[in-house]
Structure 1
């Protein structure tokens, strides 16, 4: 096993989008062709725009020429506050390693690369939502489960 890592470029979007679709199906089950096509196009547009304008980046892992994993980050800003004076946030998504390569440190390396790049770009709050399968990996990378007594996480979805 000779794993190499690199930052994704515009020509990698197809690989990133297909990986995201596969990850979504692995986590949530099969989707219809219509939903798959909608998600494919909207993710492709998002990633292409994000790579071009700097609001999205990803790192890729390869064993020779074989793709074995990726980790993506969405960068965004909110109003500055006491805990985040510059308002810059990073959100990790799509941490994925192909099944044959799991439990070899690839996910930890990809996550660390994403964290380091986000910090380099002064995005000092880095968040993610972990599956139960991924929780231990992210804890090894320094993430903690938050339990903020003053704030309650709420979502409005349509």
Structure 2
């Protein structure tokens, strides 16, 4: 897949943490899951975490740049899993923070970002890749081969111990 003229993809570094945090916040705002104020309040928390996770390799990011600005990005985290005969890897990949600024959408950037991050998972020998699909990205994910999983997640939030 070729990028539109002037756009480049690059691997994120710790210096990109504020940009990734901003894109993450805007992604949740665009989906209606956070208000701009809520996203702004979490920006420092996300930035601090990313500053440690990027150099440690706990988070791998790919950014789309044009004219010296990052206009999109995607991330990959690695989660432990039990190996099986079909997939012997002890980790699975999880895609998150998929975002392209509205004025740069419909140019192939989201698909290029996804292909780049999936290639990263492949170079690590990982076969299992998961994500939570926002409605805006569902068609791209399906085109790339993602299918609905039949493992509904249940969650419990524990209260902090006194």
- TM-score, normalised by the number of residues in structure 1: 0.87
8 Å CA contact 1:75, 1:88 repeated in 2: yes
Q: d(CA) in 1 for partners of 2:80 and 2:51?
A: 19
TM-aligned CA distance change 1:29 to 1:143, over 3 Å: same
Alignment of 1:98-109 (within 5 A): 98-109=101-112
Q: d(CA) in 1 for partners of 2:11 and 2:153?
A: 33
| Residue 3 of structure 1, aligned match among 7, 24, 48 | 7
Which structure 2 residue ranges, 5 or more long, are not aligned? 158-162
8 Å CA contact 1:75, 1:123 repeated in 2: no
Which structure 1 residue ranges, 5 or more long, are not aligned? none
User: What's the counterpart of residue 118 of structure 2?
Assistant: 115
Structure 1 vs Structure 2 CA RMSD? 1.8
SS of structure 2 residue aligned to 1:142: coil
How many residues align? The count is 152
SS of structure 1 residue aligned to 2:62: strand
8 Å CA contact 2:17, 2:48 repeated in 1: no
